[in-house]
Chain A
Amino acid sequence: MASRITWYATRASGLVAWGLLLAAIVWGVLLATRVLGRRPAPAWILSLHRFLGGLALTFVGVHVGAILLDTYTPFGVADVLVPFHASWHPLAVAWGIAAMYLLVAVEITSLMRHRLTARVWHSVHLLSYLLFATSTIHMLTAGTDAKAVLATSSAVLIGVMVAFGSAAMYLWRSEPRAPTPRAAIVRR
Chain B
Amino acid sequence: MQPGPRKPRAQRARRAVAVVSVAAALTLGGAMASTEGTANTLHASAAPAAASTSSDAVAGPRYDDGGGSSAGTGSVSNAVNSVVPHTTTRGS
Contacts and interface: CB of A to CB of B under 8 A. Distances in A.
Contacts of A26: none
Interface residues of A, number: 32
Contacts of A19: 21, 24
A20 B20 CA distance: 11
Interface of B: 6, 9-10, 13-14, 17-18, 21, 24-26, 28-29, 32-33, 37, 66-69, 85-86, 89-92
Given A51-B14, A51-B17, A73-B90, A12 B26 contact: yes
Contacts, number: 72
Contact of A144 (B13, B37, B66, B90): B90
A52 B16 CA distance: 11
Nearest to B67: A72
A72 B66 CA distance: 6
A101 interface: no
B24 A16 contact: yes
Interface stretch (A40-48, A77-85, A120-128, A130-138): A40-48
A73 B37 CA distance: 19
B29 A47 contact: no
Given A12-B25, A13-B25, A73-B66, A44 B10 contact: yes
- Which of B14, B28, B33: most chain A CB closer than 10 A? B28
A145 B25 CA distance: 14
Nearest to A3: B69
